[in-house]
Amino acid sequence: MAQRRNRRSGVEDRWTKTVRDSNRNLQTVPSATNGKGLRWRARYVDEDGQERAKGFRTKADAQRWLNGVISAQETGSYVDPKLGKVTFSSFYKEWSTRQVWVSSTRHVMDQTARSVTFGDIDLADLRPSQIEAWIKAMQDAELEPTTIRTRYTNARTVIRAAVRDRIMARDVASQIKLPRTR
């Protein structure tokens, strides 16, 4: 059985270190990286036991970022930064191979995946405004409101699957206003 690392975190000053002098008193001295790069480093161990770190100019910024990461881990909304780099199109391509669909459903889903304007955007960077722009583009192309609604629902199904797989923190396609059907 593989040993798992403790979930821990902290902010450290990269420019100084604490050492004991000849009288066994603690003393702060410059480190080897003094004046080089960003001064403060925030570190944490993720759910897979991998240590993650990021540098900051100020201690307050480092602590604020670290607090957000720890909060996300505690609430279950933590997303590994590497997983969030997956694009909508690449996630759809991999996810769709696992789906049990009839051929007509596969055709409609593939058509939706090809039509999205945010296919090359990382899922972690996807915003509701980009989905709204896609819907507006479909409306400007004079697609019927029912067609727009169907494509939106299909794209949202893919986004919800990404949320379930913890590639995205939340469903950015919720509460999007769609054209009225007549």
* pLDDT tens-place string over residues 140-173: 999 999 999 999 999 999 999 999 888 888 899 9
Same structural domain, 90 and 59 = no
The answer to whether residue 175 sits within a structural domain is no
What is d(CA 17, CA 6) in angstroms, rounded to the nearest whole number?
24
**Angle separating helix axes 145-164 and 103-115, nearest 10 degrees:** 90
Same structural domain, 45 and 93 = no
The answer to whether residue 24 sits within a structural domain is yes
Q: Which of 75, 102, 132 is the last residue of a domain?
A: 75
Dihedral, CA atoms, 83, 39, 6, 84, nearest 10 degrees?
A: -10
pLDDT surpassing 50 at residue 112: yes
| Helix (H), strand (E) at residue 145 | helix 145-164
The answer to whether residue 114 sits within a structural domain is yes
User: Is beta strand 40-45 parallel, antiparallel or unpaired with respect to 26-30?
Assistant: unpaired
Taking the alpha carbons at both ends of the chain, their separation in whole angstroms is 61
The answer to whether residue 106 sits within a structural domain is yes
Domain count, the chain: 2
- Predicted local distance difference test score (pLDDT) of residue 6: 63
What is d(CA 130, CA 141) in angstroms, rounded to the nearest whole number?
17
24 lies in which domain range?
9-75
CB under 8 Å, gap of 24 or more: what pairs does 63-66 form?
Answer: 63/11, 66/9, 66/10, 66/11, 66/42
The answer to whether residue 171 sits within a structural domain is no
The answer to whether residue 4 sits within a structural domain is no
Same structural domain, 45 and 63 = yes
- Predicted local distance difference test score (pLDDT) of residue 33: 86
What is d(CA 110, CA 50) in angstroms, rounded to the nearest whole number?
36
* Matching residue, tokens 């009225």: 180
Residue 63, CB half-sphere, CA atoms under 13 Å: how many?
5
Average predicted confidence (pLDDT) for the chain: 88
Q: Is 118 in contact with 131 (CB distance < 8 Å)?
A: yes
- Predicted local distance difference test score (pLDDT) of residue 100: 93
* pLDDT tens-place string over residues 47-75: 778 888 999 999 999 999 999 888 887 87
